[in-house]
Each structure stands twice: as C-alpha cells, then as structure tokens.
Amino acid sequence: MDIAHAPTARDRVRAELVEEIKAIGRRHLAQHGAPALSLRAIAREAGMVSSAVYRYFPSRNELITALIIDAYDSIGTAVEQADAKRRRPDVNGRWLAICRAVRGWALANPNEWALLFGSPVPGYAAPIDTVDPAARAPLVLLRLVADGVAAGEIIEDRTATMSRAVRSDFAALRASMRPSAPDSVLARALAAWAQLFGSVSFELFGHLHNVITDYDGYFEMQMRAAGAVLAGRG
Amino acid sequence: MDIAHAPTARDRVRAELVEEIKAIGRRHLAQHGAPALSLRAIAREAGMVSSAVYRYFPSRNELITALIIDAYDSIGTAVEQADAKRRRPDVNGRWLAICRAVRGWALANPNEWALLFGSPVPGYAAPIDTVDPAARAPLVLLRLVADGVAAGEIIEDRTATMSRAVRSDFAALRASMRPSAPDSVLARALAAWAQLFGSVSFELFGHLHNVITDYDGYFEMQMRAAGAVLAGRG
DNA sequence: TGTACATCAGTGAACGCGCGTTCACTGATGTAC
DNA sequence: TGTACATCAGTGAACGCGCGTTCACTGATGTAC
C-alpha cells in the first residue's frame, strides 16, 4: 500500500478509481443519505462487480470514513478560504464570512452536513483519522478570537462561574492555539459555534419550517447579533 | 377505526398492542437508530408474524410517525413540567430549568433525540400530525419570554437591522402568543434556542470529544451565559 | 532487450442474511335481530 | 337469551428485492535478473 517508487501507470489508474468511487459515493450520499449508502450500488455505477470495490476499500465503513474525511476537509477549506479573504484585523467581517461559509457549504451539501453533524451513522464509529480534518473549521474560529483579543476587538468580561474541570478543559484548548484567549472568550467562542451550527441544522433539518420564510435574512441577522455577543459587546 | 361506542374488550386489547408495538419500536430505536427500524424485527419481538403488524400500523412510515409524535410529546411534557415547577416571575430560573429538561431528556433518549433533531430519516417525510407536538417545547420558551418582557426581566434592545420578510415572520410568530414580545426579544429567544439545541447536539453527537470533559459544568455555564444574553443583559 | 515470476485488478458465483408489503385463509370476537 | 352474520386478529406463504463479504479464479501489468 505504501508506494516508495515513482507512481506507475497502475498506480495512477488506482488513484483515479479511488477518487471515482468516492465521487459516486458522494453522489449517492447526496441522494439517499448515509445509512442507505451501498457498496453494491456504487460498484454497479462504477461499472464493476461488487467484489471489485474491495480492491479499493476494505469495507463499507472504510469508505464512509473516507467520505467523512473528505467532507471535513471540504468544509474546512471553505471556512479557511472565506476567513483568509478578509483583512486580518476585520474581526467581525471574518466572523460573518465564516458563518456564511459554513451555511453555504451546508446548503450546497446537505447530506454531507447530515453525515458530519447529524445523527451518528448506525453501526459506525469514527476512527482517529477524522480528528484532524474535523478540527480545521473550529481552528479558524479559535485563531479569529485570538486575533480579536490581541487587537482589542474582543473583550474579556468578568469571567462567569465555571467549574475547575471546565477551566482545565479550557486550559488544554488554549494550549493548542497561539496567540491565545482567556476563558471567558473561549466560552463565548464555543457558544457562538454552537449557535451557528444549531442554526444551520435547524434550517436544514426543517425546524424553522412555518416559522421563518426569509432564511437568508434571518441567518444574517442572527449571526450579526452572535458576532456582537462574541465580541463582548452584546 | 373511529370508535363511537364504549370500548369493547377487543378495543382494549388493540390499544394495548398498539402501545406494545410502539414500546418495542422505541427500544429498537434506542439500540439501533431510526434507519435500522424494522417492522419484521418488531413483529418477532412482539411474538407475531410480520404481516400481523399491519393490523396496527399501515406501513413502516406510519409507525415512525407515531414514534416521532410520542417523542415530541415526551420532550414537550418534560419541558412543560420543568417550567411549571418554577415560580412564574423567576424568568432566569425557568430558562435554566428548560435547558436542563431538554438536555436531560436528550441524554436519557439519545436515539429519539437523533430522530427528532438529527438527520432526517431517509425516505421519510414528516406529515402535519407532527407539527403540534413539535411546537410544545418551543411554546414554553415563547411563553417564558413573553412573561419576562411583561415583568421587565427581559429587556428590548435597539432592534438589529432585519429584513422586512423577517419582520413579518416575527409578526406571524407573535400572533400565536399572548402576551407577546417585541422583535428583538423574539430574535434573542430563537438564538438562545438554537444555541441550546446546538449545544446538546454537539455533546450527544460527539463534537465536544477531546475538548470538554466536564459536560455538566460546561453546559450549565453556557446556559447561564445564554440566559443573560436572552435577558438582554449579556 | 528479453524472459520468468510476482503482484495486482477485476470476474462470477456463492453464502447467509435482511427487508416491506400483499394475499388468501382460519378462527375468534362482536352485533343485530 | 339465542342464533346468523359481519367484523376483526393473526397465520403462513410468497413476491421481489436488497445487502456486505468471501473465495477461487483469469488475465493483465509490473519487477528483477
């Protein structure tokens, strides 16, 4: 499996087929959702017999893992790029850009959103390989708040009462970022993150039905407000 | 199907069996998740042949609908009762009680949570019968904020810019409540709701793994902060 | 540059299992006179 | 109160379909001398 030589023709064809199988898988995901993802159906569409897929993925779960990693990388890239397009000191603009990137990605890839942030797939447990890709988008937010604190755009408030355990959780989180941010800001960042993902899931999973009609306007308004709270100027 | 007479022995047995089938379904849901819900497996466990279930539910989807309605009623009841246990003017206490009731219910019924608030079940579209039960929990929050506004515990802020469409969405929402609340408060109520449900889903679906260890303390802290923002004293 | 051997891709059949739904039927429970 | 008929619950077989995974095999592509 580990290729020490220059890639041969066979290697290249193999890499292409891995990508094609994933692409078909993604399409099936988009149409029928993760629980209905079928190796046989994918094989049929790829023009091979079902057992041939096992040359590329040792099991259905490994294919799902590959799709999950790709999806995390996809939303991670979208968020990183949206963030990078803004001037670094424009903290509020970056926050809004991140929000729009998350929602835009979700609307474009609803079933992948459900795969990542909806119900766990029955009989599937995510392996460690997914951890790093999963961290990309949240890391953008952490960098943003660190920048905001350094620039004085995000202010610390009188720290809310928190348990010693939560303080040490936050300390561990802070250790993974430079520059860093105080507990009260980390708490607000995670709160904003929960609100962002909660809002998108509400919209996507139909819980705003019969309540909101102007989804764009509603989201925009809510994320502006969330940005103000995040900044400590709520 | 509509019983105009006094319930006969047969009617009572039928009602019992409907309940037993739902109970088994709930247990299967809890163990394997909604997509794996199987009429045949339920029939086996109920000690009947698979076709016999069709005397009680005309299709798998109708059984799922029944389970969804029961789950909405279950969380709705939990929230209503938690709210009712607090003195009515204790707005912040009621908010926290609602939060704890939502999370407590979710932790006790993770797969039903996933059924209601996670990914949509493939091939299933919720019928109108689910709308009223689904509204019970959010209605508690709306009553709470209306009370809070009336008591001066929840204050209006300079209303954020919102589109005309969002304003009319809010007006429609306001029409369904008495007493009512201004746009800025409704917006904050929905934001708090999204944060609450986002936080619980994050915890339940594993997105706080390797970040938070003290889930109880973390949730408590976040919902206190959310309550302050909701009140307009963030 | 040519040959012998090893590696790999893909086939086709099979195993063993599951599912939702329909249908003709038996036997028990209810209803109307 | 008793009988004739209608309704309902549950059976058992079948239809038609799906799935993941394994395995022995063929034929093509690569590697080493």
Contacts (Cβ under 8 Å, ≥6 apart) of B79: B98, B101, B102, B105, B136, B137, B140
Of chain B, the percentage scoring pLDDT greater than 70 comes to 97
Give me the DSSP letters along B171-183.
HHHHHT-SS---H
| Protein residues contacting strand C, judged by Cβ under 7 Å | A 10, 13-14, 17, 47-52, 55-56; B 5, 8-10, 37-41, 50-51, 54, 59-61
Distance (Å, whole) CA A46 – CA A130: 26
pLDDT tens profile A114-164: 999 999 887 888 899 999 999 999 999 999 999 999 999 999 987 678 999
Q: Which nucleotide is nearest to B52 (CA to C1')?
A: D10
Q: What is the CA radius of gyration of chain A?
A: 21
For the stretch B78-122, pLDDT in tens is 999 999 999 999 999 999 999 999 999 999 999 999 999 999 887
Q: Among A166, A184, A212, which would you mutate to test the B interface (most chain B Cβ atoms within 10 Å of its Cβ)? A: A166
- Are B217 and A165 a contacting pair at CB < 8 A? yes
CA angle B42, B44, B48 (to 5 degrees): 100
Residues of B whose CB is below 8 A from A217:
162-163, 165-166
- Cβ separation A122–B199 shorter than 8 A: no
Residue B2 has pLDDT above 50, yes or no: no
What per-residue confidence (pLDDT) applies to B3?
41
To the nearest whole angstrom, how far is the Cα of B214 from the nearest Cα of chain A? 6
Q: How far is CA A195 from CA A134, A191, A200, B190, B196, in A?
A: 18, 6, 8, 10, 8
pLDDT tens-digit readout, B183-228: 999 999 999 999 999 999 999 999 999 999 999 999 999 999 999 9
Tell me the C-alpha to C-alpha distance, in Å, between residue A111 and each of A68, A131, B88, B99, B112.
Answer: 11, 20, 42, 28, 20
pLDDT-above-70 percentage for chain A: 97
Q: Which residue among B119, B165, B214 places its CB closest to the CB of A214? A: B165
Contact A166 B33 (CB under 8 A): no
Distance, CA of A13 to CA of A10 (rounded, Å) = 5
A122, A160, A222: residue with CB nearest B35 = A122
Give the nearest nucleotide to B60, CA to C1'. Answer: C20
Q: Are A204 and A113 in contact (CB under 8 A)?
A: yes
The average confidence (pLDDT) of chain A is 94
CB-defined contacts A:B, below 8 A: 162
Average pLDDT over residues A101-119: 97
How many Å apart are CA A157 and CA A169, to the nearest integer? 19
Instruction: Identify the DSSP state of B1.
Output: -
B10 CA → C27 C1’, Å: 15
**pLDDT above 80 for A6:** no
Are the C-beta atoms of B94 and B83 separated by less than 8 Å? Answer: yes
Q: Do B224 and A190 touch (CB under 8 A)?
A: no
What is d(CA B178, CA B146) in angstroms, rounded to the nearest whole number? 7
Compare all CA atoms of chain B with the CA of A199 and give the residue at the minimum distance. Answer: B194
pLDDT greater than 70 at residue B142: yes
Q: Which residues have CB under 8 Å from A92's CB, separation 6+? A: A153, A227, A231
A25 contacts A46 by C-beta, under 8 angstroms: no
> DSSP class of residue B161?
P
Which residue in B221, B223, B230, B233 has the most chain A C-beta atoms within 10 A of its own C-beta, making it the best mutation to test that interface? B221
B186, closest residue in chain A (CA to CA): A222
Quote the pLDDT of residue B198: 98
The most distant pair of C-alpha atoms in chain B lies apart, rounded to whole Å, by 63
Higher pLDDT, B157 or A99: A99
Cβ separation of B213 and A126 shorter than 8 Å?
no
